[in-house]
A and B are shown apart, each in its own frame.
Chain A
Amino acid sequence: MLTADLVRLRKKGDHHVLEGLGDETRRALLEMAARIVDVGLASVGRTRGELELLRAAEGESQREKLFAKGLAVVFDDASTFEGGGGEATVGRRLALFEYAARRRKEDAAGDVFERTEVLESFARAQGLDAESVDRDLYADRKREERLIAAGFSTGEALVARWELGRVQAFLLRSTAITIELGHPEPNALRKLLRALKFQQLLHVVEVNAGAGAVIRIDGASSLFDPTTKYGLRYALLVPAMIVAGATRIVADLKLRPKRSFLVDDVTLRELSDEATRLTGEVPARAEVDDLLERFPALASRWTAARSTRLIDLVGVTVCVPDLEFVRDDGLRIAFELLGYWNRSAAWARVEAVEKGLSEPVLFAVSERLRVSREALPKEAPSALYVFKGTLRPKLVLDHLERLAEVCDARERVTIQTPKARASRKRP
């Protein structure tokens, strides 16, 4: 992975941002990347050390040399190398050293140790030539590994990965990160939240009043000392953050004076193709697509659309609704399909509703999770739709109507302010 010493930053207000490239620099960078790829493609079978020599002339200024070094690291990371020699090399080397030690002990004090003669007589005894024994003495070292397959075939692809790597390089050194999400892609965001859990990272979500949210991510030990321990995990999650709809990433760096590393929305948009390539397509939820397609046929007062909102489940977790149902008078009810494997997620939502979840949500839970719809009382402003097999539009509508009754009843007993009425009508 690209490391921070291979990337240049500039100051912008209280932040560090990636050095801008500009058209001319970008052109030069692409040309350099194309040369590095060409050298790589033509060097299959050569050692890392030889590749290094072949690239040594790349870049004149310090800045260009840094580009060349970084591109080479990214190229090598994606390429396949194979160790040279293996055990045979180690065995021959140790045998030579044993032989040399014996010869040295046999010498009289003050005799000159004849390296060339020792090498030749050892090689003769082994049926080898002295030159190859000498040359291949440390053929198993990393710099002697040979290139088997090049990781890139075009300069453009190499630069795209290098640009993503620049962001990752600084997250490697960061102690905590904050992601701003404008209009999150629900499936990709869920995947990101699952990845956070898998990586044992903790997060706090602040849901914005309008749309989107801010997610603060760090590790369990970060509560006591800022630590770079989790930097690699943050860096590995960069593609997933971008695909989930991150519009801004702020990484806390351990610097004095205190500064953060900022990646803005323009940069993140530019990286989205490469991020998607690395994460792979996020699989769509076929059940949700099917519901969305079949629901209008019911000809009800409700319309369904994909959601791009997040709902704060009152400190328990965050809900990423799949759909948003809107009644003709403006009443909105979010719809979330829970995964088939996580029973505790269903209980977390029940707990959130009990704690006073502010807006109505219909949680669709497979019966395989063994959660009863009675886990939430009928008068609760959110509901569990426990389904068997597939989502049925008619049953979804029934739940929506019942939830709407609860919401309407609650509204009747609440003294409505003009502002509250207005927000209800907002499309």
Chain B
Amino acid sequence: MASLELRFRAGTLELRGLDETAEAPTTMWAWDKRSACWRAPALAYAATILALRDKGLELDDLARAYEVTAFAEAVRREPRPYQTEAFVAWKKAGRRAVVVLPTGAGKTHLAVMAIADARRSTLVLVPTLDLLRQWRGLLSASFRIPIGALGGGEHHVEAITVSTYDSAYAHMEHLGARFGFLVFDEAHHLPSESYALAAKQSLAPFRLGLSATPERSDGRESDYPALIGAIAYRRDIVELSGEFLSDYEVERIEVDLTPDERARYDEERALFRDFLSDERIPIGGPDGWARFLQAVSRSTRGRRAFDAYLVSRQIAFAASAKLEFLEHLLDRHRHDRAIVFSQDAATTYGVSRRFLIPAITHETKQAERAHILDGLASGTFTAVATAKVLNEGVDVPDANVAIVLSGSGSVREHVQRLGRVLRKKDGKRAVLYELVTAGTAETKTSERRREHSAYR
């Protein structure tokens, strides 16, 4: 029997030598009349190899382009008990699984153990450039080999490479055959439509997802088993607090609008609410927001309602009393390390200008980010303002104060923000302040985002 030929093409697998009427190797394969061959997402690689082997078919595997190589750990750290348990669970799951551990619990150390064990060219996917820089430093120190990077203007592929999710999405159709192991940091980002494609366009047989907050508001955590593997191990903040994470407290502070702010807020909010009521849009419902946006595009009144929504939101987010209280907090914590979170870049730059503290947003270039984060670690800076880019993952071990000036209703975002200040350090006690404008929609937003055991 003539052998089959398997190739990696543009993020998919092409199988030739099997005619259109033959039985497909697995259910993921389809006949592609565009190129007269069988085609499957690259993700199907491992299952296909096993299926063809079971059928006793001879295969010329021209798809796989990754290295099998030992990565020696230059620095050996004794894993914590739960890290060992998580590692064993991942291996038992066929090296395809998601591990859920709270921020600060040492997920990266678990990844280093897995990379050494997998012995395959590895791509680590991260959501932000700060995390890319952080992972690169950590992997370089752990394995003492050059670590590649994709993102932030860099395109440098090595046997171990760190990439942003955006760059992986852009380049996986070319690089998908070159890695045998994928590590998804902050894996809850993956099930979005575009990022999921990056996972599908890679043929890596081994996969590890890491997250502190795997649940998604759209329910797409159900995609983990197909894209990475099922959740194989899980520990929550409350289980590790004290022994492995810093003790912490959460303080919610309500501020009032000034009379002028209140008048404008009520006026704009009324416009927004009247529109919703007339159009019978339940904004809190599952597709309420999408219906509102559709209605907005249909009429001038709708567009005015949208503007009213933005104005009222901005008044609540940046109430003058919040900024005055922020002044007080920055003074109270002038010998600590504080991160001031807001919902948008404009507020972040406003805070930076007003209080003369550095800002990190999506616009901040890598060198300046590094300088600011190093300065915060060393104590040169005592506070940094940010919008969303520091929500996740970035390791600031000394940060002990989180001030949430404004944010979304996302539980995940709020837990991640708390996570920034929880990394264990001797004698450290972390505090998260949440500033909420009373009598505005923000109070409900705050209630929504606090629906997590960490805030009870």
Query: Interface residues, chain A, CB within 8 Å of chain B?
Result: 61-62, 90, 93-94, 96-98, 100-101, 104-105, 107, 109-111, 113, 115, 118-119, 134, 137-138, 141-142, 200, 202-204, 219-221, 223-225, 227-229, 315-316
| Docked CA distance A119–B353 (Å) | 11
Q: How many angstroms between the C-alpha atoms of A141 and B364 in the bound complex?
A: 8
How far apart are B351's CB and chain A's nearest CB, in angstroms? 12
Which residues in B have their C-beta under 8 angstroms from that of A100? 355-357
Asked if residues A98 and B327 are in contact (CB atoms below 8 Å), the reply is no
Whether A105 contacts B382 in the complex (CB less than 8 A), given A62-B300, A223-B30, comes out as: yes
Contact in complex: B371, A119 (CB < 8 Å): no
With A94-B371, A200-B173, A223-B12 as known contacts, state yes or no: A315 contacts B363, CB within 8 Å: no
Residue contact A109 to B331, C-beta cutoff 8 Å: yes
Provided the pairs A200-B173, A202-B34, A224-B30 are in contact, do residues A94 and B358 lie with their beta carbons within 8 angstroms? yes
B381 engages A98 (CB within 8 Å): yes
CB–CB B356/A221 < 8 A: no
Which residues in B have their C-beta under 8 angstroms from that of A98?
375, 380-381
**A315 cross-chain contacts in B, Cβ below 8 A:** 33, 36
Q: Are A104 and B200 in contact (CB under 8 A)?
A: no
Contact size class for B? 35 or more
CB-based contact A221/B11 at 8 Å: yes
A97: which B residues are within 8 A, CB to CB?
A: 356-358, 381
The chain A residue sitting closest to B368, CB to CB, is A90
| A97 to B353 Cα, complex, angstroms | 10
Quick check: B381 and A220 within 8 Å, CB to CB? no
In the complex, B453 has a CB within 8 A of chain A: no
- List, in ascending order, chain A residues with CB within 8 A of B12's CB: 220-221, 223
Task: Decide yes or no: A203 and B382 within 8 Å by CB, A62-B300, A90-B368, A96-B356 being known contacts.
Answer: no
5 contacts between A and B (CB under 8 A): A90-B368, A96-B356, A137-B352, A223-B32, A229-B197
Write out the residue numbers on chain A whose beta carbons fall within 8 Å of the beta carbon of B28. Answer: 224
Contacts of B371 in A (CB 8 A): 94
Q: Are A101 and B382 in contact (CB under 8 A)?
A: yes
Cα A376 to Cα B194 with chains together (Å): 46
Q: Which residues of B contact A96 (CB under 8 A)?
A: 356
Known contacts: A105-B334, A141-B363. The answer to whether A221 contacts B197 by CB under 8 A is yes
Interface residue from B200, B353, B381 paired with A221 (Cβ < 8 Å): B200
Q: A200-B173, A221-B201, A223-B12 are in contact. Are A94 and B356 (CB under 8 A)?
A: no
Are B327's CB and A104's CB within 8 A?
no
The distance in angstroms between the C-alpha atoms of A105 and B367, with both chains bound, is: 25
Question: A153 to B36, alpha carbons, bound, how many Å?
Answer: 50
Q: Contact between A142 and B381 (Cβ–Cβ < 8 Å)?
A: no
* Closest partner residue, chain B, to A106 (CB atom): B334
A101 contact set on B, CB distance < 8 A = 357, 380-383
Given A107-B334, A113-B327, are A224 and B41 neighbors across the interface (CB < 8 Å)? yes
Would you list which residues of chain B between 325 and 379 have a CB under 8 Å from chain A?
A: 327, 330-332, 334-335, 349, 352-358, 363, 365, 367-368, 371-372, 375
Residues on A with C-beta less than 8 A from B368 are 90, 94
Chain A residues with Cβ below 8 Å from B388 are: none
A115 to B351, CA, bound (A): 12
Q: Enumerate chain A residues within 8 angstroms of B372, measured Cβ to Cβ.
A: 94
Contact of B331 with A221 in the complex, beta carbons under 8 Å: no
Closest 8 CB pairs of A and B: A100-B356, A220-B10, A202-B34, A220-B12, A200-B10, A97-B358, A104-B334, A62-B303
Inside 8 A of A203's CB, which chain B residues have their CB? 34
Report the Cα distance A204→B363, complex, angstroms. 42
A113 touches B36 (CB 8 A): no
For residue B173, which residues in chain A have a CB less than 8 angstroms away from its CB? 200, 220-221
Q: Contact: A204 with B33, CB < 8 Å?
A: yes
Q: What A residues does B194 contact at CB under 8 A? A: 227-229
